[in-house]
Chain A
Amino acid sequence: MKGNGMLGEAEYYHDKVVMRLVQFSMLWAVLAMAVGLWLAAEFVWPTLDFGQFWLSFGRIRPVHTNGIIFGFGVSALMGTAFYSVQRTSHVPLFMPKLAWFCCYAWQVVVLLGGLSLLAGWTSTKEYAELEWPFDIAITVVWVAFAIVFFGTIATRRIRPIYISNWFYGALIIVIAMLHIVNNLEVPVTIDKSYSLYAGAQDAIVEWWYGHNAVGFLLTGGFLGMLYYFLPKHAGQPIWSYRLSVVSFWAFTYSYIWAGPHHLHYSAIPEWVQSLAMVMSLVLLAPSWATMVNGIMTVSKAWPKLKSDPALKFIVLSLAFYGLATFEGPMLAIRSVNAVSHFTDWTIGHVHSGALGWNAMVTYGTFYYLVPRLVGRELYSTRLANIHFVLALAGTLLYILAMWAAGISQGLLWLSVNTLGELSFSFREVMSSMKPYYALRLFAGAIFWSGTLMMTYNLWRTIKGANVLKVLIPPVPARWRINKSVAQPVGVEAQA
Chain B
Amino acid sequence: MALFIFAGDLLVMLFMTVLVVWVSMRSSKELLDFSANIPLIEEDEHG
Contact = CB atoms under 8 A, between A and B. Distances in A.
Interface of A: 84, 87-88, 90, 158, 160, 162-164, 228, 231-232, 235-238, 241-242, 245-246, 249-250, 253-254, 257, 269-271, 274-275, 278-279, 282, 470, 473-474, 476, 478-479, 489-491
Most chain B CB within a 10 A radius of its CB, from A228, A238, A254, A279: A238
Interface string B17-47: 1001100110100011111111111110110
Nearest to A232: B39
A162 B38 contact: yes
A274 B24 contact: no
B35 A241 contact: yes
Contacts of B36: 231, 237-238, 241
Contact of B13 (A162, A254, A270, A274): A254
A246 B24 contact: yes
B16 interface: yes
Interface residues of B, number: 29
Given A90-B42, A238-B36, A241-B35, 9 more contacts: A158-B38, A231-B39, A242-B25, A245-B20, A249-B16, A253-B16, A254-B13, A489-B46, A490-B46
A279 B41 CA distance: 37
Contact of B3 (A238, A271, A476): A271
Given A88-B38, A245-B24, A232 B43 contact: yes
A489 B40 CA distance: 14
Given A228-B39, A473-B46, A489-B45, A269 B2 contact: yes
A241 B2 contact: no
A492 to B, nearest CB: 11
Nearest to B31: A160
A389 B41 CA distance: 33
A158 B17 CA distance: 27
B35 A246 contact: no
Interface in B2-16: 2-3, 5-6, 9-10, 13, 16
A250 B17 CA distance: 6
Contacts of B17: 246, 249-250, 253
Contacts of B32: 241-242
B31 A87 contact: no
Contact of A275 (B9, B25, B37, B39): B9
A235 B40 contact: yes
A474 B32 CA distance: 20
A237 B9 contact: no
B39 A162 contact: yes
Contacts of B24: 242, 245-246
Listed from nearest, the 6 A-B pairs whose CB atoms lie closest are A473-B45, A237-B36, A241-B36, A249-B20, A271-B2, A160-B35
